[in-house]
Structure 1
């Protein structure tokens, strides 16, 4: 049975040896979602997952929802989004008129131009495969080698 991905859902991302990293759906987006995934690993059979701290994610990335929908990343509960979580803004080039603008997570593009310097400090919106997120978590915990591509989704305070 397919599961629906909803804002606030807490899910488990399998990492290794029966351990999962907890994630939370921050914003559902069609067949993707913005995820905040946390460093600490818990046993997959632990009962009190909602007692975990979910306010300091190590990974903050958009990914596809099929692992949740198929139950591979099981939904373990639900709770409100921590106030410390801020939605990202991205940069996008708008042609015409040929200028950078801010784009929100839902794809809405702002009406005012931003400078090339400001745009250069921002990221473009990008989605990552669930397998990439799993691999980054495994590398973060020493279960596989680290590759520099993981730097794209690991928050600066995460390593």
Structure 2
């Protein structure tokens, strides 16, 4: 396996990182945005050797989009190997939160609660949820038929 030098640092939008998945193959992810303690990440579908990670992104669509803890990047558990921005940036989702009484309100990725939502608007938004970083290699193994697909992985899919 190619040696990757890790310099711990605050994750930045566009940072490309590696997630160990199986043997000498990794998943490639990219930071969409960083919010205190969390990162919104896009994970791409291919399993690659670490040396070809950044080049593997050209023309690819991400398969997973999720909010997770930033410590795996900040501490170098998932090493950062470059920085890349696609021609069209991935939009940061708006979430919903239930405020009682009053129903659902929109909520930004950094937790700011905004305007009230109609029931119809609320149906189209996810609850503000973060996931353990451990779900990424599990979902990638399942995507490639190396492990069973779990219902939790459906919530990570970018195409839903």
Query: Could you give the per-residue CA deviations for residues 109-143 of structure 1, whole angstroms, max 9, x where no partner exists?
Result: 22x32111221221001000010121111111122
- 1:94, 1:100 within 8 Å by CA — same for their partners in 2? yes
Question: In the alignment, which of 78, 101, 112 is matched to residue 73 of structure 1?
Answer: 78
Does residue 83 of structure 1 match 2:84? no
Query: Could you give the per-residue CA deviations for residues 15-70 of structure 1, whole angstroms, max 9, x where no partner exists?
Result: 11211111111111111100011101210233x62452265210000011122122
Matches of 1:51 and 1:131, distance apart in 2: 22
Matches of 1:27 and 1:54, distance apart in 2: 20
Question: In the alignment, which of 9, 13, 24 is matched to residue 19 of structure 2?
Answer: 13
Question: In the alignment, which of 119, 124, 135 is matched to residue 121 of structure 1?
Answer: 124
- 2:44, 2:57 within 8 Å by CA — same for their partners in 1? no
User: Against the structure 1 CA distance between its residues 50 and 108, is the aligned structure 2 distance closer, same or farther, given a 3 Å change threshold?
Assistant: farther
SS in 2 for 1:37: strand
Matches of 1:149 and 1:54, distance apart in 2: 27
SS in 2 for 1:36: strand
Where does structure 1 lack aligned partners over 5 or more consecutive residues?
none
Which is richer in strand? 1
| Structure 1 residue aligned with 2:107 | 103
Matches of 2:76 and 2:111, distance apart in 1: 27
Superposition TM-score, scaled by structure 2 size: 0.85
